[in-house]
């Protein structure tokens, strides 16, 4: 029986020395030679592999080469995505704002309001003044006297700052019906002869100027500070939707049109932030 060759330990096999010799095949002349071991070869290949992996990772992480790898997005694509998200947010805000505006205009045209419950809730949450006790401090009283003394000489300045937005009377006539929230009469009725000039109470933009079955020819104007004025039962209109009108400009001729009319008159409404307001609180009809 042949004796089995004993296997050398791993350490000895790794450290065994070998020589790599390069010879000229024609003359057998030695060109160069290297003294190697298995451990040196393993370390050399490990170092080369580590360098290749490191260079590849750096190229992918810090250069534009990664854009050509499936699954990676380009810098331009990310920039466009961020811009699109910003535009989408802006458009969403604009759409919501326009929808609120259209809802308020729709409620004005239909003569409906959805803020009654909100107003009642606000009143319910308002604390009663009888349950609140106020304490005065001597320093506050002295400061109040100083401020009142200075305000005596600022009459003209305070008066000019308060007169920023004046509403004029839309038509001269007799007030026959007042504002009554309980019966959903959200305006006042002014009796006038047919074809009397109807004026815009302030500067604004015409948002509605059309014929309706119930209230005849209707003109709605959007003003500053959330105010919207409504002119109903007109015989004809002199403005169109989108027109800019000035304060006192004639916008329609009064009439006796629509199913809900009770005679030649102008039905005038004033809305603020989507809720009906008493026109007599803002306009003098004398």
Instruction: Could you list the beta-strand ranges (E) of 140-213.
Output: 174-177, 187-191, 197-199, 204-212
What pLDDT, on a 0 to 100 scale, did the predictor assign at position 156?
Answer: 45
Q: What dihedral angle (degrees, nearest 10) is formed by the CA atoms of 124, 125, 128, 134?
A: -170
pLDDT at residue 198 greater than cutoff 80: yes
Q: 167 vs 63, which has greater pLDDT?
A: 167
Q: What dihedral angle (degrees, nearest 10) is formed by the CA atoms of 85, 86, 90, 91?
A: -30
pLDDT at residue 251 greater than cutoff 80: yes
Q: What dihedral angle (degrees, nearest 10) is formed by the CA atoms of 91, 96, 102, 107?
A: 180
pLDDT at residue 231 greater than cutoff 60: yes
pLDDT at residue 189 greater than cutoff 90: yes
pLDDT at residue 77 greater than cutoff 50: yes
What pLDDT, on a 0 to 100 scale, did the predictor assign at position 1?
Answer: 47
176 close to 164: Cβ distance less than 8 angstroms: no
What pLDDT, on a 0 to 100 scale, did the predictor assign at position 264?
Answer: 94
Residue given tokens 């590849």 in the structure block? 56
The string of pLDDT tens digits covering residues 105-162 is 776 766 666 554 444 444 444 444 455 555 556 556 666 666 555 554 444 444 444 5
The hierarchical CATH code for the domain 174-281 is: 2.70.70.10
pLDDT at residue 31 greater than cutoff 90: no
What pLDDT, on a 0 to 100 scale, did the predictor assign at position 41?
Answer: 83
Question: Residue 120 is inside which H or E element, if any?
Answer: helix 116-125
Instruction: Assign 101 to helix, strand or coil.
Output: helix
What pLDDT, on a 0 to 100 scale, did the predictor assign at position 99?
Answer: 79
Residue given tokens 């002199």 in the structure block? 238
Domain positions in the chain are 12-59, 174-281
Give the mean pLDDT of the chain: 79
Is 251 buried (19+), middle (13-18) or exposed (0-12) by CB count in 10 A? buried
Mean pLDDT to the nearest integer, 36-42: 82
Mean pLDDT to the nearest integer, 252-260: 92
What pLDDT, on a 0 to 100 scale, did the predictor assign at position 16?
Answer: 80
Q: 65 vs 93, which has greater pLDDT?
A: 93
Q: Compute CA distances 17 → 5, 32, 33, 42, whole Å.
A: 20, 17, 13, 13
């Amino acid at each position: 029986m042949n004796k089995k060759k004993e296997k050398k330990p791993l350490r000895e096999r790794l450290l065994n020395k070998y020589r790599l010799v390069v010879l000229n095949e024609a003359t057998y002349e030695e060109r160069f030679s290297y003294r190697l071991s298995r451990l040196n070869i393993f370390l050399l290949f490990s170092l080369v592999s580590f360098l290749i992996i490191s260079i590849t990772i750096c190229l992918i992480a810090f250069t534009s080469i990664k854009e050509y790898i499936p699954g990676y997005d380009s810098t331009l694509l990310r920039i466009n995505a961020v811009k699109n998200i910003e535009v989408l947010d802006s458009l969403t805000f604009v759409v919501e704002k326009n929808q609120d505006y259209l809802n308020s205009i729709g409620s004005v045209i239909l003569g409906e309001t959805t803020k009654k419950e909100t107003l009642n809730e606000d009143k319910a949450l308002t604390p009663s003044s009888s349950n609140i006790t106020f304490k005065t401090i001597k320093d506050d009283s002295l400061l109040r006297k100083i401020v009142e003394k200075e305000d005596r000489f600022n009459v003209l300045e305070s008066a000019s700052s308060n007169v920023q937005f004046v509403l004029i009377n839309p038509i001269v006539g007799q007030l026959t019906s007042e504002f009554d929230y309980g019966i959903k009469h959200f305006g006042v009725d002014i009796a006038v002869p047919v074809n009397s000039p109807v004026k815009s109470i302030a500067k604004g933009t015409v948002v509605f100027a059309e014929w309706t079955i119930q209230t005849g020819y209707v003109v709605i104007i959007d003003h500053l500070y959330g105010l919207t004025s409504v002119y109903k039962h007109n015989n004809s209109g002199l403005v169109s939707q989108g027109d800019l009108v000035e304060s006192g400009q004639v916008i329609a001729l009064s009439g006796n049109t629509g199913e809900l009319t009770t005679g030649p008159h102008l039905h005038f409404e004033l809305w603020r932030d989507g809720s009906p307001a008493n026109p007599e609180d803002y306009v003098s009809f004398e």
